[in-house]
Amino acid sequence: MQEKFCESCGAPMGEFDEMYGPGTEADGSKSEDYCNQCYVGGAFTIPNITLTEMIESVADIMVKNFGFSQEDAMEQCNEGLPNLKRWKTT
């Protein structure tokens, strides 16, 4: 089974992962596209965040929690996040 990734922040969305499990739609069903940190009740948790702000936020998490260097984290975020569903329309 192929791992799903959040189409907003790029986090892996494990079915039973409390931190980055699937978000929820307005009807309470699981979101196919977004994690529970980005999307709850059919809406983005931070609706006005810009792509640049999301890149900085995700890069900071990668550095603090996963041991990436700031340079590597920013490079990966700048390459990956603009291609995600949430950001392709902006």
Per domain, the residue ranges of the chain are 22-88
Q: What is the pTM of this model?
A: 0.88
User: For residue 1, what pLDDT is reported?
Assistant: 52
pLDDT of residue 43: 98
pLDDT mean across residues, the chain:
92
Convert 44-75 to b/e letters by CB count within 10 Å (16 or more is b).
eeeeebeeeebbeebbebbbeeeebeeeebbe
